[in-house]
A and B are shown apart, each in its own frame.
Chain A
Amino acid sequence: MKIHEYQGKKLFADFGMPVQDGYVFEKLEDAESTIKKVQADFNTEDVVVKAQIHAGGRGKGGGVKYSPNFDKALENAKNILGMNLKTHQTGEGGQLVRKVYVTEAYDIAEEYYAAITLDRSKGMDVFMVSSEGGVEIEKVAAETPEKIAKVWIDPLLGMKSFQARKLAYALGLKGDAFKAAMKILMQMYHAYQSIDATIVEVNPLILTTDGRVIVLDAKVNLDDNALFRHKDIAAMRDLNEEDPNEVEAGKFNLNYIKLDGNVGCMVNGAGLAMATMDIIKLAGGEPANFLDVGGTASAETVKNGFRIILSDENVKAVLINIFGGIVRCDRVANGVVQAVTELGLKVPVVVRLEGTNAKEAQEILAKSGVDIIPAVGMKDAAQKVVNAALGN
């Protein structure tokens, strides 16, 4: 799960990290009062107006504006709220800005980068810092990898001070700023651990002209599997930032991701679902979605899966590919018959059922009289569904 910058900063602040803070507004009529409150509470004339969307690259897309005074801040706030912000992470469609964060402004002397994430191949978390903050870290990694310092953290020991020291030295800090940075890095690790994050990233972490070290941005991704022990964080979920069909699918324990193609598919198991998308492409079609119905596909899940796939108007044919293990094919077949009867499908449906009770399933489909194209094996199924999508 992703959260907004202002939410990430709130979590960071809970762990003692000094963050650039402010207030959020969602309605235009609240813009004025929010800016004034930030100016008063943080004792500042200049502020920063920041679009709150989950995608990165907001600054480049025009979603973050330094504002030297109230009038400029109000103008920026009006422009940013409701804008369709396009960044390299939102794709062409962009993302509607529904929340704007007005924060205090700092005079920046240096910008750094700091992030913690999982290193899968080492089986440890890796803490990375760089003296080159404020820019895309991918670029630093590609062009000047020597400017990124890393430490790997033993999961049983946690981060040790010698590791934080190494990172703070790598930033070239001295004196009080060095001590402050070390403390922030330790707090950042503590936060990462405690909230079950999969990524925490601060870009930039700044040194102010008066020698303070401040967190200027916060990117926090959480482990969905651990949300059961963080009810407060789970409540931060912003459904507006997610695809409505994916949200709807989630309610029925379906794992759905919308793609741009013309062939819908419904499969049990993530690996088989990906392989099904791939073979549709090889057969000359384009997959319209990823949909894993999971290990307990019932008539009800099949029906809801159909409904969600068909809400995408690009879909010209649907392939159902089930390899029954625990899932019984006869139950899936009943679901297909029920769905086709109730929803009155307007596109061709190809069905391939294999594994537990596959024979019974084929009999159910044959007897039902519903208009379904049976297939044997994945190659046959892919070819048939692509032909159907093309109208052949």
Chain B
Amino acid sequence: MSFGTMFLQMGAGMGKSLLIFALTLLFSMPLGMIVAFGRMSKNKIIQTAVKFYISVMRGTPLMLQLLVIFYGPYYLFGMNIGSRFAAVIVGFSLNYAAYFAEIYRSGIQSIPVGQYEAANVLGYSKTQTFMLIILPQVIKRILPAVTNEIITLVKDTSLAFAIAYQEMFTIGKQIAASQTSFLPFVIAGVFYYVMNLMVAFAMDKAEEKLSYYR
């Protein structure tokens, strides 16, 4: 098999890897905010339930979680989740939401209480206070941690091979096996690396943009 054919076949999978990446961010980042609020809730039941959710998501391998989501319903209820893709997106989003939630929580709790008090005395509503005063400062503070998480996500998309979803790395491994070639791994490595260079560049720009205040 020529390099060109190999690259084309893996290229089809790259689109899918990028799709996992994009959809996971799209769902897990807002979901993480909800989880963070649940984690900080004064309601003990909600708080405990969310704590348990986070500890399971962080305490077990994502690969295992994907297997459970895809095969679990079959063994438990005898029903099939038809779509490997859906299982991948659900698994990734639930997992990453837990990590984002903890990052958000650390950011929110690092904002001095005086900021809330100043906003309160000036008459800002709770929503205004959070959206206008607190959240912008939280975003600035958590950017480095979020960058870490996004970079990990780029590489984690390869875990979709666990349920044989045909993203780039899954295809690459198949080609490597059938062609007894090392080249697919090189292509995969370059892909992840270049992708993460772009992520780091974009996040650097974002940090720079927010560096006008301390």
Q: Do A and B originate from a single complex?
A: no
Q: Interface of A with B (CB < 8 Å)?
A: none
